[in-house]
Structure 1
Amino acid sequence: MSDHHNRPHVTLVSEVTVDGKLTVTRGASSKLLMQFMSHEAEVLLHQIRADSDAIMVGANTIRIDNSFLTVRHVPGKNPIRVIPSSKADISPEANVLSPDAPTIIAVSSLADREKCSQLAKKGARVEICGEDSVNLPALMKLLYEKYDVKSLMIEGGSTLNGHMFQEGLIDDLVLIHLPFIAGGEDTPSLVTGLSPKDVTDLLKLELVTQYLAGDNLITKWNVLRSR
């Protein structure tokens, strides 16, 4: 377990194919795969949402999936929705801006002011976090201190997952394994952008538990060492 230093406990939750892919092909919605999740696995996913103070996904995932990121299938409150988007490139019509829960859009100083004010008009809380891109450690500190977020769930996007791992900001992983192999060379996998050179560069994990939810294998891992 990492020393938190005024940041939320972060759990990455993702469905993955047997070869670790998040979707069928680049640019395709993960919903194509998620329809094959057992009801029990869906319940698990929504239970983690309900148990989390906030949920974060990348702006690209929002563009492709247009998710609401709300709690269904279980009783519980909707978590605060957090979208890092350096340039504030999120449609003012996006479902994630629905009134179901507060939404924080983290932008950089370079973000277009007009886009930011459009998002704010839709009820989003626009927070400047970083100069030319979103500073994730600063965003974690802000969520913890200003919004009282103690537990954060990430539902990725392989780029966001990679940046969070690079910054050593992920504590554990819950993976919902789906019985497919995608095999596409360009298909996004769970994490991208780490470029390890040697086995010593690899992120080390420890298996905490594994079980079946319906017919989907669930594995839970602790992150032992950040890069």
Structure 2
Amino acid sequence: MTALPDRPHVLMMSEITADGKLTLKKGASSKILMKYMAHETELLLHTTRAEYDAIMVGANTIRIDNSFLTVRLVPGKSPLRVIPCSMADIPIDANVMGSDAPTAIAVCEAAPEDRVGAIRKKGVTVIVAGKTHVELPLLLKILKEKFGVNKLMIEGGPTLNWHMLHDRLVDEIRLIHLPFIVGGSDTPSLVGGMHINSENEMIRLNLKKYYMCGSNLVSEFDVLYPGAP
């Protein structure tokens, strides 16, 4: 694992169906599909969380899944939960706002003061990272410099995943393959965002490892960005 001078090393970890989907349909919780992960794969997910300093998901994932993002199935310390939420409009009663693990909500300077204040009243840290929206490169720099985060994992939805890849902030990807096809042209897939214009813009992956974890295939990749040496 290469040490980076200005940001944490980032692992993207996700379960996906055979057709690359994260949920059954738009707006559905990913927890529905995660019920079908083998127990060994659940242990792998929680073991990975315990190995990382922080875990990040997008605010929309919190709204839909209301995840805890803690280490529960194996011994270990829960990582810092980081939620980018530019306008601080995260549900104030979300599970990540609880005291079972530390949480930081990243907002922008334009976030309404009353919402920011409500978050702070919950005992949750607020990080200001950008003027009109959360700037992910700045957020990761703050996480490393001020919070000592050297290893960050993301369990994001398609929007966060796309922005992280678009900003060249992801170093590794670990996929848990679920043997299902769900279809749907608007069903969320691993990466959303804008279309690319040519094959020169494709982000290439170097397969470095694959193995069975219980009944699930797991694949691990290094991320190779266009123009990178």
- TM, length-normalised to structure 1: 0.97
Which residue number corresponds to residue 7 of structure 2?
A: 7
Which residue number corresponds to residue 155 of structure 1?
A: 155
Give the Cα separation in 2 of the matches to 1:132 and 1:184.
33
Give the Cα separation in 1 of the matches to 2:9 and 2:58.
18
Q: Give the superposition deviation at 1:2.
A: 7.2
Kept in 1, the 8 Å contact 2:158–2:190? The answer is yes
Which residue number corresponds to residue 185 of structure 2?
A: 185
Pick which of 104-113 and 76-85 moved more. 104-113
Runs of 4+ more than 4 Å apart? none
Q: How many residues align?
A: 227
Q: Structure 1: any 5+ residue segments left out of the alignment?
A: none
Amino acid in the other structure paired with 2:15: E
State the identity %.
55
Q: Give per-residue Cα distances to partners, 1:145-195, cap 9 Å, x unaligned.
A: 000000000000110000000000000000000011111100010001142
Q: Does 1:138 align with 2:138?
A: yes
Which residue number corresponds to residue 106 of structure 2?
A: 106
Kept in 2, the 8 Å contact 1:2–1:171? The answer is no
3-state secondary structure, aligned to 1:29: coil
Kept in 1, the 8 Å contact 2:3–2:9? The answer is no
Which residue number corresponds to residue 26 of structure 1?
A: 26
Q: Does 1:82 align with 2:105?
A: no
Q: Give the superposition deviation at 1:113.
A: 0.7
Q: Structure 2: any 5+ residue segments left out of the alignment?
A: none
Which residue number corresponds to residue 224 of structure 1?
A: 224
Which residue number corresponds to residue 61 of structure 1?
A: 61
Give the Cα separation in 1 of the matches to 2:129 and 2:155.
20
Pick which of 189-198 and 40-49 moved more. 189-198
Q: Give per-residue Cα distances to partners, 1:46-95, cap 9 Å, x unaligned.
A: 01100000000000000000011000111100000000001111111110
